[in-house]
Amino acid sequence: MLRVLIIGGIGDAVELAAKVANIPGIEAISSLAGRTREPATPVGNVRIGGFGGVAGLVTYLREMQIDILIDATHPFANQISENAAAATQEVGIPRLMVIRPAWEKLKDDYWLEVENNLAAAAVLANQANRVFLTIGRQEIATFAHLQEIWFLMRMIDPPNADVVVPPGLILCDRGPFSLENEQEILLKYNIDTIVSKNSGGSATYPKIIAARKLGIKVVMVNRPPVPPGEQVADVESAVQWLRGCLKSIRINRDPPNPPYKGGLNSSKSPLERGI
Ligand code: NAP
């Protein structure tokens, strides 16, 4: 039995866990950061919360006798990806990154590409009045000094009480979003600029199509670098990679892994289960 840790937090990781559940000989544990109040929960075993940096992840990998780590986190979650790279190297187990391709700028797109949210805020200062801010809730304070701009801020959960919020309206909603929905929002709120991370994938792409159709400017935040290592572009390729591992990896473990006893339906908390 190969024990796989899927580090997730996005839909691709949920889809991967569902597919891996059907592969005999592989047992998966999905890990969520615990940021979202009602996360989309993967099937099978789930643990929630940070590991405690690289050292904590190394301990976890050893204690849980993880054979393979799959990093299926969001392209902007670079801290956990760096930690996963360092920890798997220290423990000496394989790691695969599932990285969906970034969106490409098309002919009729009007994009201003920037390196981070700070740079996005600097760009807005001179050329936007009504902004659709779709970067999630963690970094909205970066835009709070822009008091002359009205923001429509979309996020899954509202920001914490201590966060300084830019002027405007908070819209709590979760993708996928339809093109119709996105066009309606842009028109209803008279938006002249969208701020978006280049997340890739189809769930949040309709706002980019809507901007193209309506001639609205997009301040596109480019992705942070990923750590070196093996990567695939989609869930199906990750499944194939795992099947290959199952065939080729000889596990010299005596005694073999005991079956995992935790999971969402366990009456014990992740802490009590020691995961
Ligand atoms: P991050 O900056 O890369 O990670 C910060 C810390 O959060 C990590 O050092 C780790 O804590 C913990 N962490 C992150 N993902 C984890 C996971 N799946 N399981 C256990 N611990 C995790 O991450 P982030 O950008 O805050 O994103 C948090 C989560 O939201 C990720 O799972 C990501 O896939 C998801 N997400 C992020 C974005 C985004 O735009 N950043 C968008 C959609 C979804 P320790 O050091 O204590 O281990």
238: exposed, middle or buried (C-beta count within 10 Å: 0-12, 13-18, 19+)? Answer: buried
Q: Encode pLDDT of 58-112 as tens digits.
A: 999 999 999 999 999 999 999 999 999 999 999 999 999 999 999 999 999 999 9
pLDDT confidence of residue 264 = 38
Q: Which residue has the higher pLDDT, 271 or 47?
A: 47
245-258 burial, b at 16+ Cβ within 10 Å, e below that, comes to bbeeeeeeeeeeee
Mean pLDDT of the chain: 92
For range 119-135, the mean pLDDT:
96
Domain shared by 137 and 60, yes or no: no
Has residue 270 been placed in a domain? no
Q: What is the pTM of this model?
A: 0.90
Residue 213: domain span: 111-221
**Same domain membership, residue 163 and residue 96:** no
Looking at the structure, do residues 180 and 217 belong to the same domain, yes or no? yes
> Are 135 and 87 in a shared domain?
no
d(CA 190, CA 47): 42
Cα 148 from Cα 156, distance rounded (Å): 25
Residue nearest to atom 13 of ligand 1 (CA): 33
pLDDT digits (tens, 9 = 90+) for 233-261: 999 999 999 999 988 765 444 455 666 55
User: Does residue 12 surpass a pLDDT of 80?
Assistant: yes
Q: Is the pLDDT of residue 168 over 50?
A: yes
Q: What is the pLDDT of residue 258?
A: 61
pLDDT average, residue stretch 221-229: 97
Q: What is the mean pLDDT of residues 109-121?
A: 98
Is position 262 within any domain? no
Joined together, the tokens standing for residue 146 give 């822009």
How close is the Cα of 241 to the center of ligand 1, in Å?
24
Residues 208 and 128 occupy one common structural domain: yes
Percent of the chain with pLDDT over 90: 85
Q: Could you tell me the CATH number of the domain that includes residue 61?
A: 3.40.50.720
Pocket of ligand 1 (CB under 6 A): 7-10, 31-33, 35, 50-53, 56-57, 73-74, 76-80, 83, 136, 197
* 261 located within any domain: no
Q: Closest Cα to atom 38, ligand 1: which residue?
A: 74
Q: Are residues 69 and 124 in the same domain?
A: no
- Examine the domain organization and report whether 204 and 243 are in the same domain: no
Our mutation pick for probing the ligand 1 site, out of 45, 73, 222, counting the most ligand atoms within 8 A of Cβ, is 73
Q: Is residue 271 a part of any domain in this protein?
A: no
**Does 64 share its domain with 129?**
no
Give yes or no: residues 143 and 73 share one domain: no
79 Cα: distance to centroid of ligand 1 (angstroms): 7
Residues 88 and 123 in one domain: no
Looking at the structure of the chain, the number of domains it has is 2
